[in-house]
Amino acid sequence: MAKIQANRIPVRSQDPAERVKNFEEVSYGYNTEEAVLEAARCIQCKNPRCVAGCPVSIQIPQFIKAIVEGNMESAATIIAADSSLPAVCGRVCPQEVQCEGACIMGIKHEPISIGKLERYVADWAKENQFSTSEKVPSNGKKVAVVGSGPAGLACATDLARAGCDVTVFEALHKPGGVLVYGIPEFRLPKEDVVEYEIGQLQKMGVTIETNVVVGRTVTVDQLFEEGFHAVFIGSGAGLPKFLNIPGENLNGVVSANEFLTRSNLMAAYDPESETPIYVGRKVVVVGGGNVAMDAARTALRLGAEVVVAYRRTEKEMPARIEEVHHAKEEGVVFQLLTNPTAVLGNERGWVTGLQCVQMELGEPDESGRRRPVEIPDSTFDISCDVVIIALGTDSNPLIGRTTPGLEMNRYNGIVADENGVTSREGVFAGGDVVTGAATVILAMGAGRKAAKSILEFLKIGIL
Amino acid sequence: MYDILKKRFLAPDICLMEVLAPRIASSAKPGQFLIVRVSEVGERIPLTICDYNPLAGSVTIVTQQVGASSRRICALEEGDAFVDFAGPLGVPSAFIHEEDEALKQKKYLFIAGGLGTAPVYPQVKYLHEKGAHVEVIIGAKTKDLVIMEEEMRQVAKEVYVCTDDGSYGFKGLVTEKMKELLDAGHTYDQAVAIGPMIMMKFVTLSAKEYDLPLTVSLNTLMVDGTGMCGACRVTVGGQTKFACVDGPEFDAYQVNFDEAMRRQGMYKTQEADADHKCRIGLKNG
Ligand SMILES: Cc1cc2nc3c(=O)[nH]c(=O)nc-3n(C[C@H](O)[C@H](O)[C@H](O)COP(=O)(O)OP(=O)(O)OC[C@H]3O[C@@H](n4cnc5c(N)ncnc54)[C@H](O)[C@@H]3O)c2cc1C
Ligand code: SF4
Ligand code: FES
């Protein structure tokens, strides 16, 4: 057996000093030579822990082996069997707590860079126009997919592969869900990755109707009247939470969703765009997840000085490790164990600062993370002119409220079992709208499971 | 793409357009709005729905050119198209849930300021068709800016026009006309005011003196219009609400107008004009 290579092949990325001035992708990914070297590090476990760590059980050692053998088509085919958005997942999955976190190599050495290898294969497939998507003859069944985020796209892909006539209804003017309005260009290139994936879907014959707000423009019942045989709901969890502290409606306080939507969906960073964005000189981002990192790094690129205020420590931050690392490299300042208590403003109603208290970690809570508790008399102010709130999101109650018989949970989400089956016959759901804000891979997995249930419901044999 | 079927100017700076949008035409209800984009680099611009025709599949909008974005809308011609036209958005007016029999017994007063006349029209039309008694006060700066008077007269029992400069109708503000009517003994079960935020604020203060139930429709800043961003948040009854999904109509007495007006100015240029022209849409300086 070959000698163990303890360390990863490093991945090239844009220089931090340069990249804070642009919105181009930070990580360049592996080239073929690097990918093959990294793939060769995999020891091809008999009982691969990585696969158990992957939410959709991609046959990881098999595709890695195909890379080593130089058979990229085979690698792409193996991944496509379990994932419909590999170019996206390779870039945004929290691999350190999934496949890579479980990889046996990680016990003594560095785990295999599975995410970067997945991205390499997906990018290779695109560059070489190797496509696993083609139009199949229609089976005569019409399915409506509501929402075009990862859940909706994955569900639509599998249904189209089985020959269903699929229409995706999207409320916004561009399909992609969080992939287009939330995650920034420098982490997930829109044209090269997201639009390409959506183009593949259209090639398979899927129709995408934008500007349709289901529940308003048309109801789920009306979709059935229009002749759809089943409806999948993947409307995500897009309703931003606020802190409910004094001063939160001052001018200069925005949700991360607003800030990122202006910058990403509306391309406000581009001088051509007519949508305004306000960054001020100093920004405080409240939160510690991917959304907070994305908002912080976007504000940085728009020229502001940025502080992230998070109420626990770095260890508890839910953001991907790579994003925290990149944010630090770029100059984002982390103010940890810090909990905001009020937004401060001037007489004209604009933000002048954020009042906070210092926290310390106490007993673990139900999530297993140590609960932050306030240190008495530790109030202090951070001066700033913009506060971005990145505290997470809830589901939009619109579809639930306008669909009789569809059971909702107390967070306004839709109740569905693990196969995406809801309380209403013919209506299926999956992704963030069912689980609350989670991850791209889980949403994609849920979309695929629901597609399977829909095919069973429509009595169509699975290909 | 959403084709512009008809276009005409109602006043020098105010244009009306009929746009082909069959889905919206058949689902729109009084009180709702929509969001349009003029080009691929365009903003998402919220507009009120002025009329809708499910048979023709058309929706009527009225735009006043005040800022860069509204100018782009008014520059479009018949045969051109909007790249995006999304809606109907927001909660429909509360009265659509009332029984026809109940509506027949009711008296409504609408107070429309300037461009606010456009969204008032479908509400008055709906109530008229249900047999309610409706009176409308239309206010404008000057005679040229009075819009849709004829259409309104077709569906309202009474239409009172006020101009600031007295060039047409009653000389004075809508609040003065409203007080005059109430002082003369007119009674109403419900009033609805739609217009510039400052007008709605003063109508609210006046109506309060008479304990007149009042609804207002808030034209806040918006981005998505689907509840996703919070740009449209307002304080109503001490609680934060999103105008696009919880509104746009709210009980006037619960609204914090001063905050709402301040928030409207968040993206205005520093030299924004003082006469409260809506210039949302300009790049921040
Ligand atoms: C800024 C940000 C960064 C993130 N970073 C990561 C990351 O690095 N890694 C990761 O794994 N996850 C990340 N996530 C989470 C991940 O993006 C989501 O978990 C995932 O997108 C959920 O997919 P979905 O399909 O369920 O919903 P969404 O992606 O939210 O898509 C839902 C779609 O439905 C549409 N919709 C809603 N209501 C209606 C309606 N009534 N009618 C029609 N359409 C409707 C919405 O407009 C939207 O396009 C991030 C999220 C955000 C906001
Ligand atoms: S656990 Fe790691 S070493 Fe083992 S097969 Fe998976 S990637 Fe390869
Ligand atoms: S406009 Fe974005 S939430 Fe209302």
* Range B250-274 average pLDDT: 80
Does residue A173 lie in a domain region? Answer: yes
Q: H/E element holding B46? A: strand B45-53
CATH number (domain holding residue A20): 1.10.1060.10
| Cα(A178) to centroid(ligand 1), Å | 4
Partners of residue A304 in chain B, C-beta under 8 Å? none
* Range B27-46 average pLDDT: 93
> Rounded to an integer, what distance in angstroms lies between the CA atom of residue B175 and that of residue B92?
25
| Distances, alpha carbon A377 to alpha carbons A273, A312, A374, in Å | 46, 18, 9
Return per-residue pLDDT of chain A as tens, 463 residues.
467 888 999 999 999 999 998 899 999 999 999 999 999 999 999 999 999 999 989 999 999 999 999 999 999 999 988 888 899 999 999 999 999 999 999 999 999 999 999 999 999 999 998 876 678 889 999 999 999 999 999 999 999 999 999 999 999 999 999 999 999 999 999 988 999 989 988 998 999 999 999 999 999 999 999 999 999 999 999 999 999 999 999 999 999 999 999 999 998 888 888 888 899 899 999 999 999 999 999 999 999 999 999 999 998 899 999 899 999 999 999 999 999 999 999 999 999 999 999 999 988 888 788 889 999 999 999 999 999 999 989 898 999 999 999 999 988 899 999 999 999 999 999 999 999 999 999 999 999 999 999 999 998 765 4
Q: Do A240 and B228 touch (CB under 8 A)?
A: yes
Asked if residue A234 lies in contact with residue A145, where contact means CB atoms within 8 angstroms, the answer is yes
Q: Are residues A375 and A280 in the same domain?
A: yes
Does residue A51 lie in a domain region? Answer: yes
Q: What are phi and psi of A243, to 5 degrees?
A: -85, -20
Does residue A430 lie in a domain region? Answer: yes
Q: Do A274 and B284 touch (CB under 8 A)?
A: no
| Distances, alpha carbon A444 to alpha carbons A85, A158, A430, in Å | 8, 11, 9
The shares of helix, strand and coil residues in chain B, as percent rounded to the nearest 5, are 30, 30, 40
Partners of residue A258 in chain B, C-beta under 8 Å? 223, 229-231
pLDDT at A3: 76
Asked if residue B6 lies in contact with residue B65, where contact means CB atoms within 8 angstroms, the answer is no
How does B53-82 read in b/e, with b if 16+ C-beta sit within 10 Å? eeeebbbbbbbbbbbebbebbbebeeeeeb
Q: Are residues A88 and A147 in the same domain?
A: no
Q: Is A396 in the pocket of ligand 1 (CB under 6 A)?
A: yes
A interface residues, B as partner, C-beta within 8 Å: 171-173, 181, 210-213, 216-218, 238-240, 242, 244, 248-249, 251-252, 254-255, 257-258, 261-262, 266-267, 270, 272-278, 348-349, 396, 398
Does residue A135 lie in a domain region? Answer: no
Residue finishing a domain among A391, A422, A442: A391
pLDDT at A2: 61
> Rounded to an integer, what distance in angstroms lies between the CA atom of residue A282 and that of residue A303?
9
- B80: pLDDT strictly greater than 50: yes
pLDDT at B269: 55
B108 forms bridges with which residues in the sheet? B134, B190
Residue finishing a domain among A82, A99, A127: A127
Q: Where does ligand 3 bind, in terms of residues with CB under 6 Å?
A: B 222-225, 227-232, 242, 244
Helix (H, G, I), strand (E, B) or coil at B178: helix
Q: Are residues A359 and A439 in the same domain?
A: no
Domain B94-215: top CATH class: alpha beta
Look up the pTM and report it.
0.92
Question: For atom 3 of ligand 3, which residue has the closest CA?
Answer: B227
Q: Are residues A185 and A249 in the same domain?
A: no
Other beta carbons within 10 angstroms of residue A190's beta carbon come to: 18
Which atom number of ligand 1 is nearest to the Cα of residue A147?
34
pLDDT at B270: 34
Q: Are residues A212 and A259 in the same domain?
A: no
Q: Are residues A387 and A401 in the same domain?
A: no
pLDDT at B274: 34
Q: Are residues A339 and A444 in the same domain?
A: no
| Cα(A438) to centroid(ligand 1), Å | 9
Work out the burial of residue A107: count CB atoms within 10 Å of its CB; fewer than 13 is exposed, 13-18 middle, 19 or more buried. exposed
- B189: pLDDT strictly greater than 80: yes
How does A336-369 read in b/e, with b if 16+ C-beta sit within 10 Å? bbbbbebbbbeeebbbbbbbbbbbebeeeeeeee
Q: Are residues A286 and A324 in the same domain?
A: yes
Does residue A209 lie in a domain region? Answer: yes
Q: Are residues A344 and A295 in the same domain?
A: yes
Does residue A7 lie in a domain region? Answer: no
Helix (H, G, I), strand (E, B) or coil at B127: helix
The DSSP bridge pattern shows strands B190-194 and A282-286 to be: unpaired
Q: What is the ipTM of this complex?
A: 0.89
Q: Do A257 and B229 touch (CB under 8 A)?
A: yes
B175, amino acid identity = T
Q: What does pLDDT average to over chain B?
A: 90
Q: Is A294 in the pocket of ligand 1 (CB under 6 A)?
A: yes
Q: How many domains does chain A have?
A: 3
Which residue in B27, B97, B55 sits closest to A222, CA to CA? B27
Q: Do B233 and A254 touch (CB under 8 A)?
A: no
B108, amino acid identity = Y
CATH number (domain holding residue A225): 3.50.50.60
At residue B281 the predicted structure's pLDDT band, cuts being 50, 70 and 90, is: very low
Which residue in A440, A437, A417 sits closest to A429, CA to CA? A417
Which atom number of ligand 3 is nearest to the Cα of residue A240?
3
Which atom number of ligand 3 is nearest to the Cα of residue A239?
3
Query: Considering every ligand atom, which ligand is closest to the CA of A187?
Result: 1
In this complex, is the C-beta atom of B23 within 8 Å of any C-beta atom belonging to chain A? yes
| Distances, alpha carbon A335 to alpha carbons A332, A358, A392, A393, in Å | 10, 10, 19, 22
Residue finishing a domain among A82, A97, A127: A127
Which of A169, A216, A218 best probes binding to B when mutated, by most B CB atoms within 10 angstroms? A216
In this complex, is the C-beta atom of B177 within 8 Å of any C-beta atom belonging to chain A? no
Q: What is the dihedral of CA A438, A441, A442, A443, to 10 degrees?
A: 80
Q: Is A183 in the pocket of ligand 1 (CB under 6 A)?
A: yes
Does residue A137 lie in a domain region? Answer: no
Interhelix angle for A256-263 vs A290-301, to 10°? Answer: 50
Q: Are residues A380 and A398 in the same domain?
A: no
Q: Are residues A385 and A258 in the same domain?
A: yes
Domain ranges across chain B: 2-89, 94-215, 218-285
pLDDT at A42: 95
Number of A–B residue contacts, CB under 8 Å: 114
Ligand 1 mutation pick, A25, A89, A146, A235, max ligand atoms within 8 A of CB? A235
Which domain does A345 fall in, by range?
242-391
- B255: pLDDT strictly greater than 80: yes
Which residue in the set A216, A239, A252 is minimally distant from B228, CB to CB? A239
Ligand 2 mutation pick, A8, A79, A103, A117, max ligand atoms within 8 A of CB? A103
pLDDT at A272: 85
In this complex, is the C-beta atom of B186 within 8 Å of any C-beta atom belonging to chain A? no
Q: Do B86 and A261 touch (CB under 8 A)?
A: no
| Cα(A444) to centroid(ligand 2), Å | 23
pLDDT at A90: 93
pLDDT at A200: 87
CATH number of B2-89: 2.40.30.10
pLDDT at A380: 96
Q: Are residues A226 and A154 in the same domain?
A: yes
pLDDT at B126: 96
Q: Per the structure block, which two tokens stand in for A32?
A: 């073929």
- B279: pLDDT strictly greater than 70: no
Q: Per the structure block, which two tokens stand in for A269?
A: 């960073």
Question: For atom 2 of ligand 3, which residue has the closest CA?
Answer: B229
> Rounded to an integer, what distance in angstroms lies between the CA atom of residue A195 and that of residue A180?
9
Q: Do B37 and A266 touch (CB under 8 A)?
A: no
Which of B23, B39, B72 best probes binding to A when mutated, by most A CB atoms within 10 angstroms? B23
Does residue A181 lie in a domain region? Answer: yes
Q: Do B27 and A262 touch (CB under 8 A)?
A: no
